[in-house]
Amino acid sequence: MIPRLDTERLILREWRDSDLDAFAAIYGDPDVMLYLGGELTRNDAWRNMATSAGHWLLRGYGLWVVERKADGAILGRVGLIRPEGWPGLEVGWALGREYWGQGYATESARAALNYAFVTQSVENVISLIDPCNRPSQAVAQRLGETCGAEFELVIAGNRYLTQVWSISRREWRRCTSTS
């Protein structure tokens, strides 16, 4: 049900129970989770994985596990989400700290963004980014997204101020035809 996507260096694939150790470490890292609601326990990491897998069943799209082709390392997750209360179809990413600054977020997010515009009838794709999260803002810019209005997310009773970064289908076509 979850399609596999391949990029030059990465595989975007389905969730497996054996991914738990890697995701418990990623979601338990305070630096990784700084702008994502705070670190998670191992049990909460498993629930997050299950939610990510279930999103595919309910919406027909979701998050993939990002695996490096060279050695099978699990780098994090990337993909498309639109939980109840979201302002649009989002392309989002989260990678383990040791994989930052190597272009993996942009490479995997670009594959997910392309998948969104090829498979979904949407005119825009968004990314909800904390106003202080400069690295994710840089990824959004490399994807061709521009910063728009602020949006307050409410998750489990907690409020998070985000910026809505977005790219239109027309702008995506322009960006993909020049690359």
CB 87 within 8 A of CB 151: yes
109-142: per-residue pLDDT in tens? 999 999 999 999 999 999 999 999 999 999 999 9
85-100: per-residue pLDDT in tens? 899 999 999 999 999 9
The confidence score (pLDDT) of residue 10 equals: 98
Domains of the chain: 5-178 (3.40.630.30)
CB 109 within 8 A of CB 137: no
The confidence score (pLDDT) of residue 177 equals: 81
The confidence score (pLDDT) of residue 179 equals: 59
Two tokens at 59?
């919406």
146: three-class secondary structure by DSSP: strand
